[in-house]
Structure 1
Amino acid sequence: MYRFVTWLNTAFLVISAIFVVLMMLHVTADVLLRSVSNAGIIGTLEVVSYYYMVCAIFLAFGYVEMHNEHIRVDLFVQQMPRSAQVVLYILACLAGFVFFGLLAWQSMIDALRATASQETIMSNFLFYVWPSRWALPIGFIGCLLAILCNLLKSVTRWRAL
């Protein structure tokens, strides 16, 4: 399971990185076009805000969790005995699992509703935002799987990660 979750979250990270590159190229092209012709690419703001940024941020959550790179404040925990550190880590994993589970559940409901209604936003043109709603539950599920793997690894090795 660990190997599959690592592969899955790495794939999500690659997709996230592709969106970062696309965002960079799109914004650069828009700026260059504006400076040359006083007319930018129509819809740059919408595409960057509703697609590139959402996918770049949320799809990478699981990879960040797999590699223990989320922000931690463990000033006092470092001074505790190892068994206390492990127990606190397990409790934190369980709390994170519940938290991201709720986020995944609600964002899945929102994505299903947005898809059913073909959600759009007001713009100069018809701009569908419902596909970007799926980045949230996908990213949260990747994070859930990563938390589960880290929790199992911590329990089997009896050490905080």
Structure 2
Amino acid sequence: MVKFSEGLNKCLTVVTAAAVIIMMVQIVVHALMRSLFDAPIYGTNEIVEYWYLPVVALLGIPAAQLQKEHITVTMVTERAHSSTASVFKIFACFLGALVSIAFAWFGLMKALENMAIGSTADVSDIITWPVYFLVPIVFVLLAALYVLDALVIVRTGEPDLDLVTGRPVGHDVDSRAY
């Protein structure tokens, strides 16, 4: 499971970084072309808004789950016995998976609707409907990560295990490694 998590983490990081770099290059070239040659790249604002930014924002959700970087409130679980904390964490994973599947279903319905009408970016003719399919993909992936988290807790009995490193997660800011 650690190998899968490492590979998925690396894939999400590479795709997100590539999207950010390509977006930055396109924006800089667009600004230079507009300023120097009075010939901006057509649809740059729409492409950034409807393509690059959703990719960066949506892929950050499962990446944050993999790296245990979501905001968590641990008032109850950090004071509880390890087995009690595990039960709470499994329940939270189950609930997170259900909510993620609901978001994926809603996202799939919206993506199919946008595909049917051939959704474009505002007043331009730049198509946007394909990026809507990223929502169900990301949330199904997130649900799978919640299920993997729950399985790891059941198997190890450790409520705070990092799927990428295979070691317990430290909650202290001082113990973070950047």
For the aligned pair, the TM-score class normalised by the smaller chain equals: 0.7 to 0.9
* Aligned counterpart, 1:44: 44
With over 3 angstroms needed to count, the CA separation of the structure-2 counterparts of 1:73 and 1:33, relative to structure 1, is farther
2:77 is matched with which residue? 77
TM-score, normalising length from structure 1?
0.86
Q: Which deviations, in whole Å up to 9, do the C-alpha atoms of 1:83-132 show, x marking residues without a partner?
A: 22112211111111111110011101111221222212332x31211011
1:48 Cα deviation after fit: 0.5
Q: Which stretches of structure 1, 4 residues or more, deviate above 6 A after TM superposition?
A: none
Task: Show structure 2 runs of 5+ residues with no match.
Answer: 161-178
Percent of paired sites with the same residue: 28
By relative contact order (CA 8 Å, sep 6+), the higher-ranking structure is 1
Q: Counterparts of 1:67 and 1:40 in 2: how far apart (Å)?
A: 39
The structure carrying a bigger helix percent of its residues is 1
Do the aligned residues in 2 keep the contact of 1:2 with 1:149 (CA within 8 Å)? no
Structure 1, residues 38-76: CA drift from partner, whole Å, max 9, x if none? 443221110001000001111232232122121212244
* Local SS of the residue matching 1:78: coil
- What SS is found at the alignment partner of 2:78? helix
Alignment of 1:1-161 (within 5 A): 3-4=3-4, 7-8=7-8, 10-123=10-123, 125-161=124-160
Q: CA RMSD in A?
A: 2.1
- Does the 8 Å CA contact 1:66/1:150 hold for their aligned counterparts? no
- Whole-angstrom CA distance in 2 between matches of 1:5 and 1:137: 20
Give TM-score scaled by structure 2 length.
0.79
2: distance between equivalents of 1:92 and 1:77? 11
What 5-or-longer segments of structure 1 have no aligned partner?
Answer: none
Please say if residues 50 and 121 of structure 2, whose CA atoms lie closer than 8 Å, have aligned partners that are also in contact. no
